[in-house]
Structure 1
């Protein structure tokens, strides 16, 4: 049966083996790190294959995956993780970051007898009918919930705790996570933390005791690795590409494998190559590439116009800082690709804003706005986030490289860039946005 285009190229939650490239031998590196007594942080820009790497090396049957949100805390994450094992938990955190509460396993829980045995709990339980006709369950195990017991359950499951989308976790909760993760190491639980940020050592920044207990994998792609993705995928489709076309595709991808997958899929679609060719085909730079670029940019338009509209809506709901965000965004969208990828320091950003005559915006007010830029995007449900700020280095980055592609080929009109932009915080009283 002929291989279909969607099996080779495009964006997908599941790994596409026909175009999967083990870049930098990261598969073996991750396997090695999983054998060590440390947490592993997999981070990088959006759509760089972080989750593909994890799932390719560590399957779902060996993982306990928790999707983080803005309101995720250590206790809610652990409750969700235990729920995957069939253990009902009610947890709360004490002032000293300890956990307390109760845990319960019922006869209807999705929990294996092997896990019950490892936890010293019997699997025998009977169900009894209540007067209402509903079925109640007798608990087979109930215990005080503390971190030691929780760790015992996670270790007994023989599955790795995976915290996805950790970038959505608030600053305060990250600090609490850092203390809990340090304690989990001492109890034999090692997590995989996946998030969108450009720099190493994020967790040790919040808790120095994690230094030496966390290994970072910063997922980036080089031109030759992206070219290998094209070669592997086109070989499976029985297609050859000219070196010039491959260079153009890699250049347009901004070192982002997800964007490369998306653009190449659209190029093949424009050429009418929806499945493996019956005979070897040859592609070079032409109108199909122009159409593919335009089509991908058009597909991106709702996301980035929504990003702009939601950001302006969020600004209108702020009780303060409206002008700061307006000029911050304007300068960022006018900055070069290199600046946005390398990160712009808060000092340089402030210098640029004051250079256009906005001297009333102080460095302190800019730093306050930058510190909240991740939360503002999360509050407005901008997913994945486009911009992020690292408070340690005091630099702001673009972490969604498709933003650069859309800026180049989508002819965007940002609302905050116009001279007549006159947003006000008219919603601050009726629908205030709390970023604290």
Structure 2
């Protein structure tokens, strides 16, 4: 069966055929999942976090929970138990004829049916009308306690890992709560693998210092140019195509994003009318690259422009009102993003430099205080989630006090778009 372009190149939820192993990432991940610590896999979007899981773990080795902004810890634990076919109940009351029904009170309880003697903390249903009496024991577990959940998971030996996808979507309160629960799970040898879009180390240690030395972190970035070359070379063999005339350009315009490399290669093949493995060697030329770059720039542009519009859309206030909203930090941040030197943006923007630059262009520079900017930056991820900007395109590292772009396609778009034109089209919330 011939290889299809969409299986060889591109970004998808299944394992792509041009996956390459990187010594500093794949080996580190293998060591992490076998080391007994909780595992954090982090990096910008579309940089290989999910494919790392797909490469090294069988589907039978783990259960996965997709996190959302509405997810709470108990939602995660309930999903785990459902996937393990462990039934749970909130309460139970039976009244039928001469039957006496016992009731399990309060909270979310897990029902473990067993025939035998009555145990401590259990309740019994007895049926008078039957010739024999059956005793069913109910062990009570509070699903809001990591200790109780750990005991339940230890009873099920078929699953080695629990994968939490899109951990960054969770509220900061939920992330903090889970950081404390992870400490308990680690004590019980229950391994969680957390995937999150951020670019700094020790993210969860900020919430719970006791996790230090109890988690193993695997950053999927940076990608080296040689890695990109290996990916393209592998695709050439699988599809019988030749990228040699444009390979260097593809790598240089990807701005260190494997997702962008994959998508450009896919679009180049499609532009050359290659949809599956070719019978004869197909040479990919400059015209194919130009078409691919235009297509990806337009596709990325639709999403990023919409994100910019949503980001700057704040509640308007009159000039006599004060407060963080009236300072319009979202608008001024996007203004900097669209006017600042791209090399400076790629290396990250410190809180102090942001404060200085915003004051230069702000309509009320004397009112721009470091504390107000800090409050905005600390909540910038949740702000984007509230605006339905998924995935978030920027994140703030509280420890290093650095603002970093975490959407790997944004650099590509900013390099290929008319930034001045985009800024002019954005509504200015401070104008009358």
Same fold (TM over 0.5): yes
Tell whether 2:108 aligns with 1:102.
yes
Aligned to 2:180: 179
Relative distance call for 1:365 and 1:425 in structure 2 (3 A) is: farther
**How does 1:394-413 map onto structure 2 within 5 Å?**
394-412=401-419
1:197 to partner: Cα distance: 0.5
Q: What TM-score results when the alignment is normalised by the length of structure 1?
A: 0.82
Could you tell me which residue of structure 2 aligns to residue 54 of structure 1?
Answer: 53
Secondary structure, in 3 states, of the residue corresponding to 2:367?
A: coil
1:143 paired with 2:150, answer no
**CA contact under 8 A between 1:166 and 1:195: conserved in structure 2?**
yes
Question: In the aligned structure 1, how far is the partner of 2:431 from the partner of 2:177?
Answer: 33
Corresponding residue pairs, total: 387
Instruction: Give the Å deviation of 1:395.
Output: 0.9
Q: Determine the C-alpha separation between the residues in 1 that align with 2:283 and 2:192.
A: 46
Aligned partners of 1:378 and 1:425: how far apart in 2? 26
8 A contact 1:5–1:265 mirrored in 2: yes
* 5+ long unaligned stretches in structure 1: 92-99, 108-112, 121-137, 427-436
Distance in 2, matches of 1:339 and 1:139, equals 67
Q: Which deviates further from its counterpart, 6-15 or 334-343?
A: 334-343
Return the match for 2:372 from 365, 372, 375. Answer: 365
RMSD value, Cα: 2.8
3-state SS of paired residue (1:144)? coil
Q: CA deviation at 1:314?
A: 4.7
Equivalent residue for 2:334, pick from 329, 335, 350: 329
Checking the alignment, whether the CA contact within 8 Å between 2:43 and 2:196 is kept in structure 1 is yes
Kindly indicate whether residue 237 of structure 2 is the aligned counterpart of residue 235 of structure 1.
yes
Partner of 1:339: 344
C-alpha distance after superposition, 1:157-215 (max 9, x if no partner): 43211111111122222221111111111122121010000011111121111110011
Conserved 8 A contact 2:111-2:140: no
Q: 1:345 to 1:58 in 2, by over 3 A?
A: same
SS of alignment partner, residue 366 of structure 2: coil
Which segments of structure 1 move beyond 4 Å, counting only runs of 4 or more?
88-91, 138-142, 314-319, 412-415
Q: CA deviation at 1:153?
A: 2.5
2:10 matched to 1:10?
yes
Please tell me whether Structure 1 or Structure 2 has the larger radius of gyration of its CA atoms.
2
Displacement of 1:2 after TM fit?
2.3
> Does 2:201 match 1:200?
yes
Offset, 1:369: 1.1
Alignment of 1:113-152 (within 5 A): 142-145=139-142, 146-152=145-151
User: 1:409 deviation in Å?
Assistant: 1.9
Greater mean alpha carbon deviation, residues 176-185 or residues 401-410: 401-410
Is 2:301 the counterpart of 1:295? Answer: no
Shift of 1:321: 4.4
| Structure 2 partner of 1:123 | none
| Residue from 356, 379, 384 that aligns with 1:377 | 384
The answer on whether the counterparts of 1:315 and 1:325 sit within 8 Å (CA) in structure 2 is: no
Unmatched runs of 5 consecutive residues or more in structure 2: 91-105, 120-134, 318-322
Q: Distance in 1 between matches of 2:426 and 2:266?
A: 40
Shift of 1:149: 3.0
Matches within 5 A, 1:205-224: 205-220=206-221, 221-224=223-226
Structure with greater strand percent: 1
User: What is the distance in 2 between the residues matched to 1:139 and 1:227?
Assistant: 63
Equivalent-residue separation in structure 2 for 1:170 and 1:370 (angstroms): 15
**Following the alignment from structure 2 to structure 1, what is the Cα–Cα distance between the partners of residues 254 and 63?**
32
* C-alpha contact 1:263 1:293 (8 A) present in aligned 2: yes
1:44: which partner in 2? 43
Match of 2:191 in 1: 190
CA contact (8 A) 2:112 2:137 kept: yes
- Alignment partner, residue 351 of structure 1: 356
Task: From the superposition, tell whether residues 420 and 272 of structure 1 become closer, same or farther in structure 2 (CA, over 3 Å).
Answer: closer
Helix, strand or coil: the match of 1:418? helix
